[in-house]
Amino acid sequence: MSPQASKPNSLLIRDMHPLVAMDGADSQLCGGLIFCEDGEIKRVGKRPPRGLRAQRIIDGRFAVAIPGLINTHHHLFQTLTRACRDAADSELFDWLRTLYPRWARLDEETVHVGALAGMAELLLSGCTTTSDHHYVFPRGQSRLIDAEIEAARRLGIRFHPTRGSMDVGQSRGGLPPDSVVQDLDEILADSERLVSRYHDPRPGSMLQIALAPCSPFTVSQRLMRATAELAEKLQVRLHTHLAETRDEEAYCLRRHRKRPLEFLEDAGWLGGATWIAHGIHFNRREIGRLGRAGVGVAHCPTSNMRLASGIAPALALAKAGCPVGLGVDGSASNDSSHMLAEARQALLLNRLAHGASALGVQQALRMATVEGARCLGRSDLGSLEPGKRADIALFDLRDVGYSGAGDALSALLLCAPTRVHTLVVEGRVVVESGRLQTVPLEAILTRHNHLVSKVTLRRPLL
Contact residues: Zn ion, CB under 5 A: 277, 329
- The CB-based long-range contact list for 444-453 (8 Å cut-off, 24+ gap) reads 444/113, 444/116, 444/117, 444/120, 445/117, 447/113, 448/79, 448/80, 448/113, 448/114, 448/116, 448/117, 451/80, 451/109, 451/110, 451/113, 451/114, 452/80, 452/81
Are the C-beta atoms of 73 and 328 separated by less than 8 Å? yes
Q: How far is the C-alpha of 166 from the C-alpha of 100, rounded, in Å?
A: 12
Give the nearest distance from C-beta 133 to Zn ion in angstroms.
6
Give the nearest distance from C-beta 241 to Zn ion in angstroms.
5
Are the C-beta atoms of 293 and 270 separated by less than 8 Å? yes
Residue nearest to Zn ion (CB): 329
CA-based nearest residue to 344, from 63, 126, 133: 126
10 Å CB burial of residue 442 (0-12, 13-18, 19+) is exposed
Assign residue 268 a region: left if phi > 0, alpha if psi is -120 to 50, beta otherwise?
left
Give the nearest distance from C-beta 432 to Zn ion in angstroms.
32
Buried b (16+ CB within 10 A) or exposed e, 128-155: bbbbbbbbbbbeebebbbbbbbbbbebb
Give the nearest distance from C-beta 27 to Zn ion in angstroms.
34
* Nearer Cβ to Zn ion (62/93): 93
Give the nearest distance from C-beta 438 to Zn ion in angstroms.
26
CA-based nearest residue to 348, from 314, 392, 396: 314
SS3 call for 126: coil
Give the nearest distance from C-beta 278 to Zn ion in angstroms.
7
Give the nearest distance from C-beta 329 to Zn ion in angstroms.
5
SS3 call for 347: helix
Q: How many CB atoms lie within 10 A of CB 263?
A: 25
Give the nearest distance from C-beta 333 to Zn ion in angstroms.
7
Q: Kindly give the interhelix angle for 108-124 and 441-456, rounded to the nearest 10 degrees.
A: 130
Are the C-beta atoms of 448 and 116 separated by less than 8 Å? yes
Q: Calculate the dihedral angle through the C-alpha atoms of 174, 268, 296, 251, rounding to the nearest 10 degrees.
A: 20
Give the nearest distance from C-beta 273 to Zn ion in angstroms.
19
DSSP state letters, 74-115: --GGGGGGTT-GGGTT--HHHHHHHHHHHHTT--HHHHHHHH
Give the nearest distance from C-beta 73 to Zn ion in angstroms.
6
